[in-house]
Amino acid sequence: MRRHVRNGCFAFTAAAVMLWCSGCASSKGMVNHKAMAKQRWTEARSRIIFSMARQEFEVGDLDKAAKSLAQAMEADPENSEFHELAARIYLERGQLERAHRRLTTAIELEPNRSSAHYLMGILLQRWQRYDAALAEYQLAYEHERDDVSGLLAAAEMLVKLRRLDDAAGLLEDKLVYFEHNAAIRVALGQISMLQRDFASAVKLFREASLLAPDKLELVEQLALAEYAAGESEDAIYHLKLLRDRSEQYAGRLDLGLALADCYLAINHARAAREELMNLAHAHPQSVDVWIKLAQAAWVLEDTVRVQQAARRITAMAPRRFEGYLVKGMVEGREGRSESALAHFELASRLAPDNALPVVLKGMTLERAGKVDAAIEAYKAALQISPGDARARQLLAALAP
C-alpha cells in the first residue's frame, strides 16, 4: 500500500514538474514573442519618424529634421541610412567634421552603401583631398553601376588632378553602356575643350544636345565649342538661338563678343559692328567691347568709330596696349608716320611678348622708305614670336 502511495506521489510530482516546465517554456515563448513584437513596433516607429526627418530636410528645415532624426536614431542606432541623413544635415550646416564621423559610421555599418561613399567623396572634395575623394567616388560607382553620378564625379576628380587622359578613358569606356546619357558626353566634351581638341568637343556636345534638346546650357556649350573650333556659321546659329529663347542668355557679354567674332570670321563686318555697338551701349565700361568695335570699324574703314574706340580704350585701360595700337593704325592710314611709330613703340613696351606692334612698326617704316629699319623690326618680331608667318613673309620680301 505504501509502495502504491509512494508511486502515486512520484507520478504526481513528475506530472507537476512537467506542467511547471511546460508553463515556463510557454512563458518564455510569450516573452520572446512580446519582445519581437515590441522590436518590430520600435523599428516601424523609427522608420515613420525618419521619413518625417527626411521630408523636413528636403524642405530645408534643418532644425526640425535634426530633432526628428535624433528620435529615430535613439530607437534604431545601427541604421546606416539614419547616419547618412545626419551627415547630410551636418554638410548643409557646414559642420564637416561631424558629417565625416557620421559617414564613417554609416560605411562601417553598411560598407556597400553607394550613397554614403558618394557623400564622403563630396566632403573630401570640399577639403580638397582629391585623391581620397576619387577613391570614394569610385567605390560609389562600383556599388551602384547603373548610377552615372559616381562615375562622373570620379572623372571630375581626375581632371582636378590634371589626369585628363585618365578621365577621358574612364568615361569613354562607358559611352556604349550609357548610350542615352547626355551628362557623360558633356563631361567628355569639357575634357576635350581642356585638351584643345575642339572638333571632338563639338561632336560630343552635339550628341548631348540631341539627347537633351530642351537644355539650353548644352546649346551654350555647343555654341562655344563651335566658336573655338572655327565653325563660325554653326556657332552664330546657336548663339542667336540662345538669345531668342532666353533673356538670361540675351544679356550675356561673353556670348555677344563670341557672336561678333564669328561675324568677323565669315567677313560679315557690318553685322559684327552692329552687334558691338549694341554691346557698347549695354556695357559701356567693357574694354573688350571697344577693342572688338575698333576691329570691326577698321575693316569697314569707319575711321570715326575707330578713333572713338581708341579714345575709350586708352582712357579706361591706359596700361593695355590695344588702344595705342589702334591709334597707331589710324595715324599710319592717314599718313602720319612719326605719330604712328610712337604709338606702336608704346604698345610694344606695354606688351613685350606680343609681336603685332613690332610688325606694324616695321610695316610703317617700310612704307616710309626706311627699309633697313623695317628689316630690323621684322627680325625683332620673329624673336618675340618665331612662328609669326606675316613677319617672316615681310622679312623675306625685303631681306637680300
152-211 pLDDT per residue, tens: 999 999 999 999 999 999 999 999 999 999 999 999 999 999 999 999 999 999 999 999
DSSP state of 321: S
- pTM for the structure as a whole: 0.80
- 3-state class (DSSP) for residue 234: helix
Residues 6+ positions from 13 with CB-CB distance below 8 Å: none
CATH T-level assignment (fold) for domain 319-400: 1.25.40
> Could you tell me which of 219, 157, 208 has the C-alpha nearest to residue 183?
208
Q: Where are the domains of the chain?
A: 319-400
What would the pLDDT profile of 255-308 be if each residue is shown by its tens digit?
Answer: 999 999 999 999 999 999 999 999 999 999 999 999 999 999 999 999 999 999
Q: What is the model's pLDDT at position 39? A: 57
The answer to whether the beta carbons of residues 224 and 231 sit under 8 Å apart is: no
Residue 346 has pLDDT above 70, yes or no: yes
Give the dihedral of Cα atoms 236, 239, 244, 246; nearest 10 deg.
180
Residue written as grid cell 575634357:
191
DSSP state of 176: T
Q: What is the model's pLDDT at position 40? A: 64
Residue 57 has pLDDT above 60, yes or no: yes
> Could you tell me which of 290, 292, 374, 372 has the C-alpha nearest to residue 332?
374
Q: What is the model's pLDDT at position 34? A: 57
Q: What is the model's pLDDT at position 229? A: 97
